[in-house]
Amino acid sequence: MSEEKYKRAARIIVKAGRLPFPVNDTLIEILKYLIDESELDFINAFKLKKSQTLEELQKTSKLSEEEILNNVESLAKKGVIFNQQSSKGIMVYRLLPLMMVGPFEYIFMQKLKYSPVEKRIAHLFKKLFDEVKDTVQSKYDVLEPVFRKFPPLDRTVPILDKTASGDEIEISVNQKLEIPEESIVTTQNVGKLIEKFDYIAVGHCFCRHHKDLLGTPCKQTGMRENCFTFGKSARYTTEQGFARLIDKNEALKILKKSEEAGLVHKAFHPHEDITKAETSICNCCEDCCATFELWREGVLPMMNWTNYLSKIDNEKCTGCGTCVEKCPTKAIHFNDDKNIAVRNAEWCIGCGVCAHFCPENAISLLEGMRKVYVPPPKLRK
């Protein structure tokens, strides 16, 4: 009976997210670490609606107020339930997906003890990602068109001050991007983002922590505590012990240090709606960040909002290869004829890493909001 209840809970949690996680033994074992048997019936209350008020939960769960709050308190500490007030001041309880954003992020965001249990959970997530990869690759032609309909997961915030001008950049056969002449003051943009919030929290990078537990630590940086949450997300992460509150000066220092390490600022918005205030910022490296790794591994497409596009000045480019090495999406390659760098506009997420490290100042940024979609590589014929 309990095994069937775990499978039912797994289906509900998978439905709360967008990743095609298989309901299999690996997923069930992860959930057994996160959810006690006594909490499974409460998860079932979110079958039809993943965000509910206390009054709604009393009807859907058939539990008392005390029982509901006890379940919420326990599950929130494991990143399964989000419990914060809405903009109207009403307490809302939301079932979180397994990943993006849910237990995977929150478990590894807190300071780790590197216990056998934590290592086991890390390896189970890696195994589950590999199983998702098998699913996606075996059904690639069916799933890839579905992925195209998804909204971008995040928004890139570039890391430096550059200016450039251009008339019209060809993005694809059927799409053209108009880019006006603009000045982009990146550090001030990030600063203004930080200035918007009274509550700022910082936790450990869950992707790098996950890799640490797998025994494959980050090659790009030793930084760990540079994952930010804002507003009610900051209140949630600090209340549950996933992060700590910091002031704006400390936040800016951490962001600057992240830039110096060549990390990419990625901002996240509620329901992927970029018109709403940011909930968090990740500082991503190429080798650990799930966004980059799951794309390279053929699990997920690259789905990203960006307001910028890199531009290479052919007269200044010396073909040193720094930008080719640093680009996290491999959107830059060499033109063999002229031995200069060439940018692939479709793959450029506008992070500014290439411009930041270019020794000749041959790369600048153009402005113009656009959506980046790069399908996962098809690894099977």
**211, 122 contact by CB (below 8 A):** no
* DSSP letter (8 states) at residue 112: P
Name residues whose C-beta falls within 8 Å of residue 17's C-beta, 6 or more positions apart in sequence.
97, 98, 99, 100, 102
Cα 370 from chain centroid? Answer: 18
User: Are 135 and 227 contained in the same domain?
Assistant: no
Domain boundary, last residue among 108, 140, 172: 140
Q: Which two tokens stand for residue 82?
A: 């989000």
User: Are 343 and 220 contained in the same domain?
Assistant: yes
Domain boundary, last residue among 104, 120, 140: 140
381 within a domain of the structure (yes/no): no
CATH code (residue 48):
1.10.10.10
Name residues whose C-beta falls within 8 Å of residue 175's C-beta, 6 or more positions apart in sequence.
none
Q: Would you tell me the crossing angle of helices 206-214 and 116-138 to the nearest 10 degrees? A: 100
User: Are 114 and 179 contained in the same domain?
Assistant: no
User: Are 131 and 191 contained in the same domain?
Assistant: no
> Tell me: the pLDDT tens digits for 301-311?
988 888 889 99
**77, 240 contact by CB (below 8 A):** yes
User: Are 163 and 301 contained in the same domain?
Assistant: yes
User: Are 240 and 153 contained in the same domain?
Assistant: yes
Q: What is the mean pLDDT of the chain?
A: 86
pLDDT tens across the length of the chain (381 residues): 688 999 999 999 999 987 778 899 999 999 999 999 999 999 999 998 999 999 999 999 999 999 999 999 999 999 999 998 887 888 999 999 999 889 999 999 988 888 999 999 999 999 999 999 999 999 999 999 999 988 888 888 876 444 333 433 333 323 344 433 333 333 336 777 888 898 999 999 999 999 999 999 999 899 999 999 999 999 999 999 999 999 999 998 998 898 888 888 899 888 888 888 889 999 999 889 988 999 999 999 988 888 889 999 988 998 898 999 989 888 998 887 768 899 999 899 988 889 888 999 999 888 888 889 989 999 876
350 within a domain of the structure (yes/no): yes
Cα separation, 36 vs 316, whole angstroms: 61
239-244-249 Cα angle (round to 5) = 135
**99, 153 contact by CB (below 8 A):** no
380 within a domain of the structure (yes/no): no
Q: Compute CA distances 276 → 68, 108, 139, 270, 314, whole Å.
A: 30, 26, 34, 7, 38
Give the predicted TM-score (pTM) of the model: 0.85
97 within a domain of the structure (yes/no): yes
Cα separation, 58 vs 69, whole angstroms: 11
Domain boundary, last residue among 82, 107, 140: 140
Strand partners, 168: 178
Name residues whose C-beta falls within 8 Å of residue 66's C-beta, 6 or more positions apart in sequence.
none
Q: What residues make up the domain containing 345?
A: 141-374
